[in-house]
Amino acid sequence: MTSAREIAAAVRSGASTAVEAVTAALARIERVDPVLCAFAEVWEEAALRGARAVDERIAAGEHLPLAGVPIGVKGRRGPRGAGPLIAAGCVPVGATAVPGPGTAWQTWGLGRYGRTVNPWRYDRTPGGSSAGSAAAVAAGLVPLATGSDGAGSVRIPAAWCGVVGLKATNGRLPSADRTGLAAPGVLTRCVADAEAYWRAMAGPAETPGGGERRTPTALWSADLGFAGPDPEPVALARAAAHRLADAGAVRLLPPGRPLRLEDPGPAWLALRDGGDLVTAARVRAVNDRRLDALFRRADLLMTPTTPCAAHGHDGPGDRYSTALTWAFNLSGHPALSLPAGLGRDGCPVGLQLVAARGREELLLAVAGSAKW
């Protein structure tokens, strides 16, 4: 699968056209999606019109950083949040699958042809709720798809489908979520494409500060003090963290006093569904203080993305796949899931990187050093 940046470079140079790139994506979707079920809708006519418009803009001399890149957008309302991507030259080809009625766990999607499957194993869920976006990117139908993350809904499917998933700092990009728990995000096959997404959505990178550049520091936590993850995703994520350190991307600090957050689940549920808001405020305040202290000591926090491997389509039982992600929806910190390896079942798991609020650039720079 050609990356988004490679597609855009070819279209800008005249080596290819947006119409060719979009036509190829539509052909892949037609061939694969009856099994994958990653798309709820495909907008063939609109996509080709959009591609022709991009080719006209290029011919007129306009510089489009994402010229002709076919993208999936999460849900039928996805184009509303993709305006900056479309302005940068992206062409939405369809709405990716999200959970249908009765899927209270938000762990799978409902596409045109049925339930969305994990490209690595069809008997496993891709995760949710950005299920279709993760599956479409992992299977190479499109190089980039948008998501939204209210409790891990970008990072969990990214981990279970073996792709990159970025959740922005809460409130930094527009979101329709009135609780403030959800933030926009993206799923891509490579970090460079996630960085291109971020440039389009957030604008040019801030000018680096003066002084000597140094290797970012990172702290590892297997469980955030409460989560009880399974041994295998912990081992794979820890090994991925050490590979980043071996590559010189980060400097792992000695463990010292372990991070112990309060379980954010009850607070998250109270804010989302109504409940004990006094207790929710207390949990949020306690965790914010502990995370603020951590980020005074280190630049990054590293954890497994999920406490368990991808489960089957019959549901996870009483296991919360959000155990290691929703703390950062409550706190608002940006977070990124990076592929960490394959479990014994043949399915991917992820390494989660978390940074101080507003430091998406740091997440992308460190993740971009991964060579696996």
Contact yes or no for 306/341 (Cβ under 8 A): no
Residue with tokens 């891709």: 126
Residue type, 366: V
Helix (H, G, I), strand (E, B) or coil at 194: helix
| Separation of alpha carbons 130 and 99, rounded Å | 8
Going 213 to 214 to 219 to 220, the CA torsion angle's sign is positive
Element (H, E) at 350: strand 348-355
Backbone angles phi, psi at 285, to 5 degrees: -65, -45
Structure tokens at 231: 């041994």
The contacts of residue 275 (CB under 8 Å, 6+ apart) are 266, 269
Structure tokens at 78: 């996805």
Structure tokens at 220: 């590892």
Q: Which of 16, 130, 148, 153 is catalytic?
A: 153
Contact yes or no for 217/250 (Cβ under 8 A): yes
Q: Which of 16, 74, 221, 321 is catalytic?
A: 74
Q: Which of 16, 129, 133, 221 is catalytic?
A: 129
Is 129 marked active-site? Answer: yes
| Separation of alpha carbons 134 and 307, rounded Å | 19
| Separation of alpha carbons 166 and 31, rounded Å | 28
| Separation of alpha carbons 77 and 129, rounded Å | 14
Which residue, 72, 69, 68, is CA-closest to 41?
72
Q: Active-site residue numbers? A: 74, 129, 153
